[in-house]
Structure 1
Amino acid sequence: MSYPAWQPWTGQNAPSLLASNADRERAVDVLRAGYGEGRLERPEFEKRVERAYGARTVGELALLVADLPQGPMPQPASVPVTFMPMGRPKTNEKAIGAAICGGLVFFTGGLTGIPAIVLGHAARTEIRRSGEGGDGLALAGLVLGWLATAAWAAGLILLLVLAVALV
């Protein structure tokens, strides 16, 4: 629906000129356009429409729409860069490597635990510095790597204790 352009009244006595029904409808059309564009809240819109239909003069109508554009605002052809959705940040490759090495500890008997720890720490440092994605992957690799390393250390200590006990 197209809203007619608001035509300001000119002349010496324009503000005191009696308003016609067409003048009131033009003012209400401008209010509807402002409400449709989100420039007015519903209670404010309803209050202004009521006042527009009760207005006696052109000056009263002009005051009701003075802070609104005179009809729908044209939409820009392109969206400014500020309002464009941001792309997802690139995932850090070392974080991916840390997660893979951390997941492989179950299949390699924990041998990939140390690489998972090294890659995880390196990835988290790079992520903090560069803003890349993948912090969760790096952390998962670190946790699994440390658990595998702790399991190896506990196993070696247990073997050492058993060796000393048997001697």
Structure 2
Amino acid sequence: MSYPTPWQGKPLQGPGGPPMLASHADRERAVDVLRAGYGEGRLDHPEFEKRVTRAYQARTVADLAVLVADLPQGPMPQTMAAVGPVPRTFLPAPQPKTNGKAIASMVCGILCVATGGLTGLPAVILGHLAQSEIRRTGEGGDGFALTGLVLGWLSVAGWVFFAVLIGLVAVLAGSPG
């Protein structure tokens, strides 16, 4: 049995006078409501096409109201119970814990400047320990460990260069000339 839909009838007349003419914006709003209804599966494609055609041909606001009368006029609120939990696939991947030795290596490497290079050797040792733990456990902080290693090795190289320079000066100053 086929039921007549309200939008297939004649244009509605306002109670007390002629109906108000529809503007282009009124037509576009009605078509937006129809698109939303089609997107939500409330209208099949042939009915959607018929209503859109009729919306663009509508002369009055009442004609448009009839076209969207059986559709929600905005987004339908959905509760989390209706939607359900977000599948794990779509959740962001959990960030791994940062290795503590990697952080300590970077701090020691940065402190090389303030301590005159005294924290360079601990930065190198902690950096190598951190990198091996990171490979073994999958923790984060590889960049921190690398920063500590680079700064630590620069500090150690600076101390070695300074020691060689002092030794060279001592040898040259002690040689009879």
* TM bin (shorter chain): 0.5 to 0.7
Greater Cα radius of gyration, structure 1 or 2 = 2
SS of equivalent residue, structure 1 residue 151: helix
Letter in 1 for 2:166: L
Q: Which of 82, 96, 104 is matched with 1:97 structurally? A: 104
Letter in 2 for 1:147: L
Q: Residue 138 of structure 1 aligns with which residue?
A: 145
Letter in 1 for 2:122: P
TM-score (norm 1): 0.58
2:38, 2:48 within 8 Å by CA — same for their partners in 1?
Answer: no
Q: Residue 125 of structure 1 aligns with which residue?
A: 132
Distance 1:104 1:125 in 2: 23
Distance 2:107 2:156 in 1: 16
1:116 aligns with 2:155: no
SS of equivalent residue, structure 1 residue 31: helix
Aligned identity (percent) is 45
Aligned residue runs from structure 1 range 53-72, under 5 A: 53=50
Q: Deviation string for 1:51-109 (max 9, x for gaps)? A: 8439xxxxxxxxxxxxxxxxx9x953211223222332211000011011111111221
1:28, CA displacement in angstroms?
7.5
Cα gap change, 1:28 to 1:157, in 2 (>3 Å):
closer
1:95, 1:141 within 8 Å by CA — same for their partners in 2?
Answer: yes
Distance 1:28 1:144 in 2: 61
Consecutive unaligned residues of structure 1, counting only runs of 5 or more, are 1-8, 10-18, 35-47, 55-71
1:31, 1:49 within 8 Å by CA — same for their partners in 2?
Answer: no
1:130, CA displacement in angstroms?
1.9
